[in-house]
Amino acid sequence: MDDTIKSTTDLTHTLELTSLGRVDKIDGKSPYERLLIDQNPFSPISEEYRIIRSNLQFMSIDHPLKSILITSASPAEGKSITAANLGIVMAQAGFKTVIVDTDLRRPFQHTLFQIDTAAGLTDLLSSAATNIDPYLNATPVHNLYVMTSGTIPPNPSELLGSQRMADFVDALRDMADIVIYDSPPVLAVADALVLANQVDGVALVVQAKKTRLEAAQHALTTLYQGGANIIGGILNRSNEKSAGYYEYYHHNSANGHGPSQPPIPTEPQRHHHKSPF
């Protein structure tokens, strides 16, 4: 019996998740070619990611979403490419955006963005450094920066659950307009759960015709029990058609009018203990 998630309806009705959007498969000979950097800005796949961006922005009006964790139930469901392309469209809208690779066991953002092995998150956390800027890598996209995972540590969960990591999350939240964390899969290791309640919202990526319903439900239960604010799901590699939207959007884009982009609001400064950053 095929119990995989196949459609947005499965996402909203069966999993009872808010649908943040759906994206088709991006073909490319290399990981870099699967990014939106060289894509036609009015291609269907670019528009699909802009829909997700708009949904997040509208959700952010009442409850600021300045830090978002992107995860999945199991490995190889598209969370890393989703995090990367979401970061790209956020930056293209004018937001200072930082992608942080917190998948310390199987990091991938450095491969996607073709960043040479450099000091990253774990190196920052393991040091006494107080300046985050040297660990942020510029990308070909204006306003977009990537922090790689850094040296693979022997204790990923402990490092991500440390007070220094919590201080880092708060400091980066104040530095950028939006921070996107590429997290390990929920059911593979405990790392995602450690991070989930430190961010403003968590989005679950599910791959159409691959992610099993039971696995997705288990992941959601685990996240809820860990205190995560689950803001919705993203259906990856979906072949559902949204022709009506594309026709409307392309018509307006051709006339210089796209969907309105509400700003991601800022939040009053929160009071914390003295941060080292």
pLDDT digits (tens, 9 = 90+) for 162-179: 999 999 999 999 999 999
Query: pLDDT at residue 242 above 80?
Result: no
Helix (H) or strand (E) holding 168, with range, is helix 163-175
8-254, what's its fold? Rossmann fold (3.40.50)
The predicted-structure confidence for 101-143, as pLDDT tens digits, reads as follows 999 999 999 999 999 877 999 999 999 999 999 999 999 999 9
Domain spans of the chain, in order of start = 8-254
Per the CB < 8 A criterion, the answer to whether 181 and 199 are in contact is yes
Query: pLDDT at residue 43 above 70?
Result: yes
- Burial of residue 105, with CB atoms counted within 10 A of its CB: 0-12 exposed, 13-18 middle, 19 or more buried: middle
Beta-sheet pairing, 230-236 with 201-207: parallel
Return d(Cα 160, Cα 221) in angstroms, integer.
21
Q: Give the pTM.
A: 0.88
